[in-house]
Amino acid sequence: MSPLYQELLIAVVKVAVLINVLLVVFSGMTYLERRVLAFMQFRLGPNRTGPFGLLQPIADGIKLFFKEEAMPEGASRWAFVAAPIVSIATAFTAIAVIPYGPPQRVPSWDLLPEWLRGREISFQVADLNVGLLFIFAITALGVYGIVMAGWAANNKYTLLGGLRSSAQMFSYELSLGLSWVGIIMLAGSFKVADIVNSQAGGFWNWNASPSRQFLAFIVYLIAGTAEVSRTPFDLPEGETELVAGFHTEYSSMKFALIQMAEYINMITVAVLVSNLFLGGWHSGIPGVGPSFFWFVGKVAAMLFFFVWLRGTLPRFRYDQLMHFGWKVLIPVAAVNVLATATWVALVH
């Protein structure tokens, strides 16, 4: 096999594994979110399907699969069908350039073909020179899924939901981008793997620690939550005023795809927080080596944090949301960039 086809084959296998793992984590999250949220509110949550209700995601999937597909009258056919596709495609693409662990060597078993033995495989689909910029670009495109869904359905509630979410996204995208600038300057690279490796050697080297980029960490947590429209920033689908916001008119598998895209975006933010601010696969204790499991643990903690937020905080009002984004978050992020730039210029 020529080297090009070897690379392609490895990439295809990585993509297949990544998509399947993400789908499993997604269905697990739908169950865990409902269950944990229920416990927080002194309820039981889904506990009838299978042991502890563990088969609930499968039952939900089957139910959605057999539901009738409905398209409202006067809807824009193309945009209505394209919106969930755009959402899910951007969600999967953004997470493809993030590494999950240190590169590993393939063991040289006789079963494997010659070219695969001892080859170094990185734990990410594509290692781009512009890593973080690429993620930023793709999440910026993800807005269109929501905007198109809101506009195409020809319904005033969905349109309002779409408008709200586009305004919210481009307001919080600014502080999200600014919160990355500091860690990019400290690591001297856009590559996520380089940023993770710049945090090795103990938890005080993590970007989330007060000696590094604590302010950026807080700003990114808030902006990231707003970017994926989780409570307290879930205004685009505020059910008390907008029915269900931009996805009101979606049913069956299209609804499932939109839901899936939202969860995968949430996973992306959790993965990014643990890689950019919590040291990724490096352990916080000096002397303990890096491992894939540290990364998994940090991501799981972040996902729990998002559910916890939903069980704790009420929703923002729209004017509060805009005020907070433009007048508090962006100035804080900008000051942090200035301070970090001064520090980097003085030290290096």
Partner 1 sequence: MLEAILFYSFAGLALASAVGVVAQRNPILSALSLIVTLCSLSAIFGLLGSPFIAALQVIVYAGAIMVLFLFVLMLLNVPRREEGDGPRGVLKGVAILLGLLFVVQVGAVIAAHGHAAAPAGYEATTQSVAQLLFSSRFLYVFEATSVLILSALVGAVALAKKDL
Phi-psi region of 118 (alpha: psi -120 to 50; beta: other; left: phi over 0): left
- Binding segment for partner 1 (CB under 8 A), chosen from 168-176, 257-265, 286-294, 338-346, is 168-176
Sign of the Cα pseudo-torsion (303, 176, 277, 187, in order): positive
| Least distance CB 54 / partner 1 (angstroms) | 40
Scanning 27-35, 116-124, 126-134, 299-307 for contacts with partner 1 by CB under 8 A, the matching segment is 126-134
Residue 151 near partner 1 by CB under 8 A: yes
- How many other CB atoms are found less than 10 A from the CB of residue 293? 11
12 near partner 1, rule: CB under 8 A: no
Give which of 287, 328, 256, 274 is closest to 101, Cα–Cα: 274
149 scored as a contact of partner 1 (CB under 8 A)? no
By CB under 8 A, residue 134 contacts partner 1: yes
Based on the shown chain and the rule CB under 8 A, indicate whether residue 186 belongs to the binding site for partner 1.
no
Residue 65-94 contact track with partner 1, rule CB under 8 A, x = bound: -----------x-xx---------------
Query: Which amino acid appears at position 217 of this protein?
Result: F
Among the listed ranges 25-33, 130-138, 270-278, 300-308, the one in contact with partner 1 (CB under 8 A) is 130-138
Give whichever of 65 and 170 is closer to partner 1, judged by the CB atom.
170
- Give the interface segment with partner 1, choosing from 46-54, 169-177, 230-238, 309-317 (CB under 8 A): 169-177
In the complex, what is the shortest distance from the CB of residue 173 to partner 1, in angstroms, rounded to a whole number?
8
Is residue 137 close enough to count as binding partner 1 by CB under 8 A? yes
Which residue reads 């890593």 in tokens?
131
Least spacing, CB of residue 14 vs partner 1, in Å: 18
Q: Which listed residue (115, 144, 214, 326) binds partner 1 by CB under 8 A?
A: 144
Residue 180: which of 225, 233, 134, 133 has the closest Cα? 133
CA distance 253 to 268: 22
Judged by CB under 8 A, the stretch of 45-53, 146-154, 242-250, 318-326 that binds partner 1 is: 146-154
**Residue number, 176 or 307, with CB nearest to partner 1:** 176
Cα–Cα dist 128/4, whole Å: 17
In contact, 179 and 333? CB cutoff 8 Å: yes
**E strands in 54-187:** 104-105, 120-121
| Dist CA 99 CA 170 (whole Å) | 26
Q: Is 128 in the site for partner 1 (CB under 8 A)?
A: yes
Four-point Cα dihedral 333, 337, 338, 343, nearest 10: 140
The span from the CA of 248 to the CA of 80, in Å, is: 12
Distances (CA, A) of 43 to 32, 85, 311: 14, 35, 12
Regarding 304 and contact with partner 1 (CB under 8 A), the answer is no
Q: Which is nearer to partner 1, 71 or 163 (CB)?
A: 163
3-state secondary structure of 278: coil
Closest CA to 228 of 184, 196, 190, 259: 259
At residue 127, φ and ψ (nearest 5 deg) are -100, 95
Out of 40, 64, 136, 202, the only residue in the binding site for partner 1 (CB under 8 A) is: 136
Size of site (CB under 8 A) for partner 1:
28
**Which window, 42-50, 108-116, 137-145, 320-328, contacts partner 1 (CB under 8 A)?**
137-145
Least Å distance between CB 133 and partner 1?
4
Distances (CA, A) of 248 to 33, 151, 155, 203, 282: 21, 11, 9, 44, 42
> Does the CA dihedral 62-63-69-72 come out positive or negative?
negative
**Residue from 138, 181, 183, 186 binding partner 1 (CB under 8 A):** 138
Q: Contact residues for partner 1 (CB under 8 A)? A: 4, 76, 78-79, 128-130, 133-134, 136-138, 140-141, 143-144, 147-148, 151, 159, 162-163, 166-167, 169-170, 173, 190
